[in-house]
Structure 1
Amino acid sequence: MVENLSLICCNITSKPTNLFSRPLNEKILLVQVLVGIFLYVNSLMIFTFLKKEAFRTDTRYVLFAQTLFMDSFLMVLTDLAVIQSYYQYTIPCVPCVILCMVMIWLQFGTPVTLVAMCLERYVAICMPLRHANISSERTQLVGLVVIWWLSAVPPFLVLFLFLEWAPPSVLSSSMICEVELLLPKKWQANSRSVVATLYFLWMSAVIVITYFRIVKVAKKAASGNSKSTTKGRKTVILHAVQLLLCLIQFCCPFVETAILRIDLKLFVNVRYFNFISFILAPRCLSPLIYGLRDEKFVLVLKYYAVFGLSKKPTVHSVKFERQ
C-alpha cells in the first residue's frame, strides 16, 4: 500500500504545475499570519540576546538563543514546504532531499536542546558551587557541538535509507517535496520510527530524572531560598510539555498516511491540525518559557520592542541571578 501511495504521488508530480495557480484559502492565510507573528517575536528576542553581553555569556541563554534560531529557521523552511505542497509545485529531487534533511535536523535539534537546558537547570540548582566551572565558554562550545551532532543522526539515517532504495531515475526527477516520498517502503518508515522512539525514551528519561532531582532539592531548601528552585521546577515541567509536543510530530506522518488511505479530505484537515498543534505550538512555548517569564530579559526586550523609547536598562538591571 505504501509503494502504491508513492507511485500515485509521483504520477501527480509528473504533471506540469503553475506557481500560484490556486487562490489562497483561510487556512493558508492563518498559517502565514501565525508564522509572521512567530518570526517577529523570535527575531526581536534574538536581537535582544545579541545586544547584551550578560545574555551571551550565560549558558542558559545561549541555549535559549539556539532554540530561537532553530525554531525560526525551521518555520521558514516548513512554511515554504507548506506553500509548495498547497500549490502542487514540483522541485528537483536532490534539492528536495537536502531540504528534508535540514528540516529533520532542526526538528530533532529543538528537543535535544531542551534536554540540554534541563541539565543546565539541574546543575544550577543541585550543584550551585560547580555551576560556574561547568558552564564555562569551552563547555558551552562543546555542548553546542554535541547537540548538533546528536540532532544530525536522524536526517543522515533518512539520507542513507533513501539512497539505499532510490534508483537513478528518481534522483533526476522532480517531485512535490515531502519526507514520506523519500521513504516509500515500510521497512524504511519503521527504521525512522525506531530512531524517533529511542530519542523519545532517552529525552523523557532525562526530563523525569532532572525534575525529581530538582524536587528533592526544593524540599530541602529553606523557605527563603526556595523561590529559584520552585521556578526551576516549573521550567522543567514546561520543558516536558514542550518536549512532548515536539516528539508527537514524529508520529504524525504515520497517522496521516493511515488516514490518507481512508479519506483525502480528512487527511488534509488532520495534517493541517498537526502542523498547527505540533509544529507551531511547541515553538511558541520557547519565548514564553525563557523570554517572557524572565523579568530581566523582559526588561531589555521591552526597551527594544518600543524602539528605545523607554528608559534604557542599566547594567545592574540585567545582571543575572542563578535561578
Structure 2
Amino acid sequence: MLDIVIEARQASLGNGLEVRRILPFRLRRMVGPFIFMDHAGPVSVQPQQMSAMDVLPHPHIGLSTVSYLFGGQVTHRDSLGVEQIIRPGEVNWMTAGRGIAHSERFEDPAALAGGELEMIQTWVALPEADEESAPAFDNYQPQQLPIFTEKGVWMRLIAGNAYGLKNGVKTHSPLFYVHAVLEPGTRFGLPKEHSERGVYVAKGSLQVNGNRYGPGQLLVFTKGIDPVLFAHEKTTLMLLGGEPLGERFIWWNFVSSRRERIDQAKADWEAGRIALPPQDNQAFVPLPKDPFRLKGSPPPQPLS
C-alpha cells in the first residue's frame, strides 16, 4: 500500500534561491538511506543577479551529497581542491565523512537564462562505520550511467541497482536512485529488491490505485507492495530508496548517529577546523544559532 504522500514545502537557501523541500519530513524522515531532498528551479534571473544565487562555502559531516541537473550548470568547489562543473545527465557525489566544506556557484549566465537551471540535490546518510571516513568527491559522466528504454519508458540509473541495472557510482550502503521519464499512457512499476521505495513526481502526473498525484509529491510505499504507476501525461520521476540505516540526528548540514558528534561539528566549523575550498575561501556561511528553534520547531530530532 501507499505508506505516505509527502508534499514539498517551499524553502529558501537564504541567498534568493527558492527550493521545494521534500525530505526530511516530520512524519517520514528518511527513505532508505536518503535523508534530504531538494528540488530547485526552473530558475530564471538576470545576469546581474547571478552572484546573489551562489551557495557560499558551508560544511557537511556524516553524509554524501548527490547533485543531479535537469538543466543549466553549477560549479562545485570543495576542501579537497576539487573544482568541477556539473551539467545535465552527470552526477556529483561528494562524501563528507569526517568533514568537508564546499560551495555551489552559478557562473554561466546562460545557465540561468530562460528558466534553464533545474537541479535535484539529495543527501545519503553514511553507515556508522563510514561516518568518520576520509572525505571524497567523484563526478560521473553520462556514459558511465546506464540508460534503459522500452516503449513509453526512458530511465537513467544514477546510483545503486534497480531493474537489473548497475553502475560504478561509489555508494556505502544498498540503495537505488533513478531518473525516469514516462510517456502518456505508460504503466510502470517499482524495483522489488529494496525495502524502502519512494517516487518523486518532478513533472507531469501519475495515477496510483485510482488517485492522481502531481509535481512536488513524494509517494512512499510499504515493503512488499508492487504498485502500478500510470502516467496521464509525459511525466518525469525520481525514484529512490534502499535499506534503512537506523537512527540519525540532523542539524543544519550535519548528520550523525551520535548527537555529540553534531555538537563537535558545530564547534569545528566555528573554530575553522573544517578547511574552506582553497579556490573559494574569501567568504563562507556562518554557523546558525539554531535554525530549528528560529523556525519555532523542536530541537534536532533523530531521523529513523
TM-score (ref. length: structure 1) = 0.27
Which of 1 and 2 has higher RCO (CA within 8 Å, sep 6+)?
Answer: 1
Greater Rg by CA: 1
Is the strand fraction higher in 1 or 2?
A: 2
Is the helix fraction higher in 1 or 2?
A: 1
TM-score (ref. length: structure 2) = 0.28
